[in-house]
């Protein structure tokens, strides 16, 4: 993967993983899993933004 593509892919993957954890945490009333999911969503958002910046999509 060139440039920011790697960061974008990892970011989207972390966002998806985080959303799954968040939803399972809500369904099972597991606050720790839900918090972990929200952390992964934030991490993924940051990674994707960094990848977009490297590709010149984000200014």
Count structural domains, the chain.
Answer: 1
In a domain, 23, yes or no: yes
Expressed as residue numbers, the domain containing 27 is: 5-53
In a domain, 59, yes or no: no
Greatest Cα-to-Cα distance within the chain, rounded to the nearest angstrom? 41
In a domain, 58, yes or no: no
SS (H, E, C) 5-42: HHHHHHHHHHHHHHHHHHHHHHHCCCHHHHHHHHHHHH
Query: What is the value of pTM for the model shown?
Result: 0.86
pLDDT score of 59 more than 70 = no
- The token pair at 47 is 């990674």
The predicted-structure confidence for 4-38, as pLDDT tens digits, reads as follows 899 999 999 999 999 999 999 999 999 999 999 99
Q: Provide the 10 A C-beta neighbour count for residue 46.
A: 13
């Amino acid at each position: 993967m060139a440039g920011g593509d790697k960061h974008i892919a990892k970011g989207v993957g972390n966002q998806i993983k985080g959303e799954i954890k968040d939803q399972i945490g809500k369904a099972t009333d597991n606050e720790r899993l839900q918090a972990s999911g929200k952390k992964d969503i934030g991490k993924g958002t940051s990674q994707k933004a960094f990848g977009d910046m490297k590709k010149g999509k984000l200014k």
